[in-house]
Amino acid sequence: MSDYSIRLYVDSDYEVTRNLFRNGIIEHHNKAFHHALQRPHIWLPALVVLTLPALNLVSVTTSILVVLTAVAAIWFYCRYMYTSYVDYALSDDMLDISKYYLQRDGFCFWVAETRGGEVVGTIAALPSSDPGGEKHLELKRLSVATKHRGKGIAKVLCRTLIDFARRRGCEAVVLSTSLAQINATKMYEKLGFRQTHSFYPPGLLGQFLDFKIIAYRYDIPAL
Protein backbone atom coordinates (compact mmCIF):
# COMPACT_ATOMS: atom_id res chain seq x y z
CA MET A 1 0.00 0.00 0.00
CA SER A 2 3.04 2.31 0.36
CA ASP A 3 2.88 2.72 -3.43
CA TYR A 4 -0.49 4.45 -3.04
CA SER A 5 -1.73 7.51 -1.19
CA ILE A 6 -5.17 8.72 -0.18
CA ARG A 7 -6.24 12.29 -0.87
CA LEU A 8 -9.40 14.34 -1.27
CA TYR A 9 -11.18 14.29 -4.62
CA VAL A 10 -10.46 17.17 -7.03
CA ASP A 11 -12.41 18.08 -10.16
CA SER A 12 -9.76 16.68 -12.53
CA ASP A 13 -10.61 13.19 -11.08
CA TYR A 14 -14.18 13.47 -12.40
CA GLU A 15 -14.14 11.07 -15.38
CA VAL A 16 -11.89 8.43 -13.84
CA THR A 17 -13.90 8.47 -10.61
CA ARG A 18 -17.20 7.99 -12.42
CA ASN A 19 -15.70 5.19 -14.54
CA LEU A 20 -14.30 3.40 -11.50
CA PHE A 21 -17.70 3.52 -9.85
CA ARG A 22 -19.54 2.40 -13.02
CA ASN A 23 -17.20 -0.53 -13.74
CA GLY A 24 -17.05 -1.62 -10.09
CA ILE A 25 -20.84 -1.97 -9.97
CA ILE A 26 -21.66 -3.33 -13.42
CA GLU A 27 -19.19 -6.21 -13.05
CA HIS A 28 -21.50 -7.90 -10.54
CA HIS A 29 -24.44 -8.58 -12.79
CA ASN A 30 -23.04 -11.93 -13.97
CA LYS A 31 -22.48 -13.08 -10.37
CA ALA A 32 -26.06 -12.11 -9.49
CA PHE A 33 -27.25 -13.98 -12.60
CA HIS A 34 -25.37 -17.17 -11.66
CA HIS A 35 -26.62 -16.90 -8.09
CA ALA A 36 -30.23 -16.64 -9.35
CA LEU A 37 -29.82 -19.66 -11.67
CA GLN A 38 -28.66 -21.76 -8.74
CA ARG A 39 -31.96 -21.26 -6.87
CA PRO A 40 -33.91 -24.57 -6.98
CA HIS A 41 -37.17 -22.73 -7.72
CA ILE A 42 -35.49 -21.43 -10.90
CA TRP A 43 -33.64 -24.45 -12.28
CA LEU A 44 -36.17 -27.12 -11.25
CA PRO A 45 -39.04 -25.70 -13.37
CA ALA A 46 -36.53 -25.22 -16.22
CA LEU A 47 -35.60 -28.90 -15.94
CA VAL A 48 -39.27 -29.88 -15.97
CA VAL A 49 -39.89 -27.81 -19.13
CA LEU A 50 -36.90 -29.49 -20.80
CA THR A 51 -38.33 -32.96 -20.06
CA LEU A 52 -41.78 -32.13 -21.53
CA PRO A 53 -40.79 -33.09 -25.12
CA ALA A 54 -39.97 -36.61 -23.85
CA LEU A 55 -43.61 -36.87 -22.73
CA ASN A 56 -44.75 -35.57 -26.12
CA LEU A 57 -46.40 -32.57 -24.43
CA VAL A 58 -44.50 -29.88 -26.37
CA SER A 59 -41.91 -29.83 -29.11
CA VAL A 60 -38.18 -29.72 -28.34
CA THR A 61 -38.00 -26.29 -30.00
CA THR A 62 -40.78 -24.89 -27.81
CA SER A 63 -39.29 -26.24 -24.63
CA ILE A 64 -35.81 -24.88 -25.43
CA LEU A 65 -37.28 -21.52 -26.45
CA VAL A 66 -39.24 -21.21 -23.21
CA VAL A 67 -36.16 -21.97 -21.10
CA LEU A 68 -33.89 -19.66 -23.12
CA THR A 69 -36.43 -16.83 -22.88
CA ALA A 70 -36.66 -17.26 -19.10
CA VAL A 71 -32.86 -17.37 -18.75
CA ALA A 72 -32.49 -14.26 -20.92
CA ALA A 73 -35.14 -12.44 -18.85
CA ILE A 74 -33.23 -13.27 -15.65
CA TRP A 75 -29.96 -12.03 -17.18
CA PHE A 76 -31.58 -8.77 -18.29
CA TYR A 77 -33.15 -8.25 -14.87
CA CYS A 78 -29.77 -8.72 -13.12
CA ARG A 79 -28.09 -6.36 -15.55
CA TYR A 80 -30.88 -3.83 -15.23
CA MET A 81 -30.60 -3.81 -11.42
CA TYR A 82 -26.95 -2.74 -11.63
CA THR A 83 -27.18 -0.43 -14.67
CA SER A 84 -30.22 1.41 -13.28
CA TYR A 85 -28.40 1.89 -9.97
CA VAL A 86 -25.34 3.25 -11.79
CA ASP A 87 -27.45 5.57 -13.97
CA TYR A 88 -29.23 6.87 -10.90
CA ALA A 89 -26.01 7.53 -8.96
CA LEU A 90 -24.22 9.14 -11.91
CA SER A 91 -27.05 11.61 -12.31
CA ASP A 92 -27.44 12.15 -8.56
CA ASP A 93 -24.52 12.44 -6.09
CA MET A 94 -21.89 11.58 -8.74
CA LEU A 95 -23.02 14.33 -11.12
CA ASP A 96 -21.24 17.16 -9.34
CA ILE A 97 -19.00 15.35 -6.87
CA SER A 98 -17.30 18.47 -5.49
CA LYS A 99 -20.59 20.21 -4.82
CA TYR A 100 -22.26 17.14 -3.33
CA TYR A 101 -19.44 15.80 -1.19
CA LEU A 102 -16.88 18.54 -0.58
CA GLN A 103 -18.97 21.60 0.11
CA ARG A 104 -21.28 20.18 2.78
CA ASP A 105 -20.69 19.44 6.43
CA GLY A 106 -20.48 15.72 7.17
CA PHE A 107 -19.85 14.72 3.55
CA CYS A 108 -16.50 13.75 2.00
CA PHE A 109 -14.97 12.00 -1.03
CA TRP A 110 -11.47 10.50 -1.21
CA VAL A 111 -9.47 8.86 -3.95
CA ALA A 112 -6.50 6.48 -3.87
CA GLU A 113 -3.68 7.50 -6.16
CA THR A 114 -0.57 5.67 -7.39
CA ARG A 115 2.86 7.31 -7.14
CA GLY A 116 2.50 8.08 -10.83
CA GLY A 117 -0.68 10.08 -10.15
CA GLU A 118 -3.20 7.53 -11.47
CA VAL A 119 -6.48 7.46 -9.55
CA VAL A 120 -7.29 3.79 -8.82
CA GLY A 121 -9.76 3.85 -5.93
CA THR A 122 -12.64 5.88 -4.53
CA ILE A 123 -14.81 6.13 -1.42
CA ALA A 124 -17.49 8.58 -0.27
CA ALA A 125 -19.00 9.50 3.10
CA LEU A 126 -22.32 11.12 3.88
CA PRO A 127 -24.56 11.45 6.93
CA SER A 128 -26.97 8.50 7.11
CA SER A 129 -30.57 9.28 6.26
CA ASP A 130 -31.87 6.19 8.11
CA PRO A 131 -34.40 6.93 10.84
CA GLY A 132 -32.49 6.98 14.14
CA GLY A 133 -29.21 7.21 12.25
CA GLU A 134 -28.37 10.81 13.14
CA LYS A 135 -25.00 9.72 14.55
CA HIS A 136 -24.25 7.33 11.71
CA LEU A 137 -22.07 7.96 8.68
CA GLU A 138 -22.84 6.13 5.44
CA LEU A 139 -20.08 4.59 3.31
CA LYS A 140 -20.69 4.76 -0.44
CA ARG A 141 -18.98 4.57 -3.84
CA LEU A 142 -16.14 2.26 -2.75
CA SER A 143 -14.38 0.94 -5.83
CA VAL A 144 -10.83 -0.12 -6.71
CA ALA A 145 -9.55 -0.60 -10.28
CA THR A 146 -9.35 -4.31 -11.13
CA LYS A 147 -5.60 -4.47 -11.67
CA HIS A 148 -4.88 -2.71 -8.36
CA ARG A 149 -7.03 -5.00 -6.20
CA GLY A 150 -5.75 -7.22 -3.40
CA LYS A 151 -3.15 -4.65 -2.31
CA GLY A 152 -5.01 -3.26 0.68
CA ILE A 153 -6.28 -0.09 -1.04
CA ALA A 154 -9.94 -0.59 -0.07
CA LYS A 155 -8.97 -1.31 3.54
CA VAL A 156 -7.06 1.99 3.75
CA LEU A 157 -9.92 3.88 2.07
CA CYS A 158 -12.36 2.40 4.61
CA ARG A 159 -10.07 3.26 7.53
CA THR A 160 -9.79 6.84 6.23
CA LEU A 161 -13.57 7.06 6.26
CA ILE A 162 -13.84 5.46 9.72
CA ASP A 163 -11.33 8.01 11.09
CA PHE A 164 -13.38 10.81 9.55
CA ALA A 165 -16.53 9.41 11.21
CA ARG A 166 -14.73 9.10 14.57
CA ARG A 167 -13.48 12.69 14.42
CA ARG A 168 -17.02 13.85 13.75
CA GLY A 169 -18.28 12.04 16.84
CA CYS A 170 -20.26 9.40 14.91
CA GLU A 171 -21.19 6.18 16.66
CA ALA A 172 -21.21 3.95 13.61
CA VAL A 173 -20.50 3.61 9.90
CA VAL A 174 -23.29 1.98 7.90
CA LEU A 175 -23.59 0.75 4.32
CA SER A 176 -25.52 -1.57 2.10
CA THR A 177 -24.27 -3.81 -0.67
CA SER A 178 -25.67 -6.60 -2.83
CA LEU A 179 -25.17 -10.29 -2.06
CA ALA A 180 -23.25 -10.69 -5.34
CA GLN A 181 -20.52 -8.26 -4.22
CA ILE A 182 -18.60 -11.06 -2.53
CA ASN A 183 -15.18 -9.34 -2.36
CA ALA A 184 -16.82 -6.36 -0.70
CA THR A 185 -18.78 -8.39 1.87
CA LYS A 186 -15.62 -10.36 2.79
CA MET A 187 -13.68 -7.13 3.14
CA TYR A 188 -16.29 -5.41 5.31
CA GLU A 189 -16.47 -8.44 7.61
CA LYS A 190 -12.68 -8.59 7.86
CA LEU A 191 -12.64 -4.92 8.86
CA GLY A 192 -15.13 -5.58 11.67
CA PHE A 193 -18.41 -4.61 10.01
CA ARG A 194 -21.33 -6.85 11.00
CA GLN A 195 -24.49 -7.62 9.08
CA THR A 196 -27.52 -5.94 10.60
CA HIS A 197 -30.28 -6.94 8.19
CA SER A 198 -31.03 -7.78 4.59
CA PHE A 199 -33.83 -6.78 2.26
CA TYR A 200 -35.00 -7.02 -1.33
CA PRO A 201 -35.55 -4.22 -3.83
CA PRO A 202 -39.22 -3.29 -4.39
CA GLY A 203 -41.15 -5.79 -6.54
CA LEU A 204 -41.51 -9.57 -6.35
CA LEU A 205 -38.87 -10.35 -8.97
CA GLY A 206 -35.97 -9.35 -6.73
CA GLN A 207 -37.22 -11.72 -4.05
CA PHE A 208 -37.85 -14.50 -6.58
CA LEU A 209 -34.28 -14.21 -7.92
CA ASP A 210 -32.83 -13.76 -4.42
CA PHE A 211 -31.39 -10.37 -5.35
CA LYS A 212 -30.59 -9.58 -1.75
CA ILE A 213 -29.23 -6.31 -0.36
CA ILE A 214 -27.23 -6.66 2.84
CA ALA A 215 -26.87 -3.86 5.37
CA TYR A 216 -23.67 -3.60 7.43
CA ARG A 217 -22.68 -1.58 10.46
CA TYR A 218 -19.33 -0.82 12.05
CA ASP A 219 -19.52 0.40 15.64
CA ILE A 220 -16.81 2.96 16.25
CA PRO A 221 -15.01 2.04 19.47
CA ALA A 222 -14.94 4.87 22.04
CA LEU A 223 -11.34 6.08 22.58
Ligand X SMILES: CC(C)(COP(=O)(O)OP(=O)(O)OC[C@H]1O[C@@H](n2cnc3c(N)ncnc32)[C@H](O)[C@@H]1OP(=O)(O)O)[C@@H](O)C(=O)NCCC(=O)NCCS
Question: Among residues 106 and 152, whose Cβ is nearest to ligand X?
Answer: 152
Binding part of the chain for ligand X, among 30-38, 60-68, 74-82, 184-192 by CB under 6 A, reads 184-192
DSSP codes joined into one string, the chain: -TTEEEEE--GGGHHHHHHHHHHHHHTTHHHHHHHHHTSHHHHHHHHHHHHGGGGTSS-HHHHHHHHHHHHHHHHHHHHHHHHHHHHHHHHTTTTSHIIIIISSTT-EEEEEEETTS-EEEEEEEEE--STT-TTEEEEEEEEE-GGGTTSSHHHHHHHHHHHHHHHTT-SEEEEEEETT-HHHHHHHHHHT-EEEEEE--SSHHHHHTT--EEEEEEEPPP-
Question: Among residues 77 and 193, whose Cβ is nearest to ligand X?
Answer: 193
**Residue of 39, 186, 194, 197 interacting with ligand X (CB under 6 A):** 186
Q: How far is the CB of 158 from ligand X (least distance, A)?
A: 8
Q: How far is the CB of 25 from ligand X (least distance, A)?
A: 6
Binding part of the chain for ligand X, among 7-15, 52-60, 72-80, 145-153 by CB under 6 A, reads 145-153
How many residues of this chain interact with ligand X, rule: CB under 6 A?
Answer: 19
**Residue 142 binds ligand X, judged by CB under 6 A:** yes
**Residue of 34, 155, 194, 197 interacting with ligand X (CB under 6 A):** 155
| Interatomic CA distance for residues 31 and 74, integer angstroms | 12
**Residue 187 binds ligand X, judged by CB under 6 A:** yes
**Residue of 31, 79, 149, 212 interacting with ligand X (CB under 6 A):** 149
**Residue 143 binds ligand X, judged by CB under 6 A:** yes
**Residue of 19, 30, 160, 183 interacting with ligand X (CB under 6 A):** 183
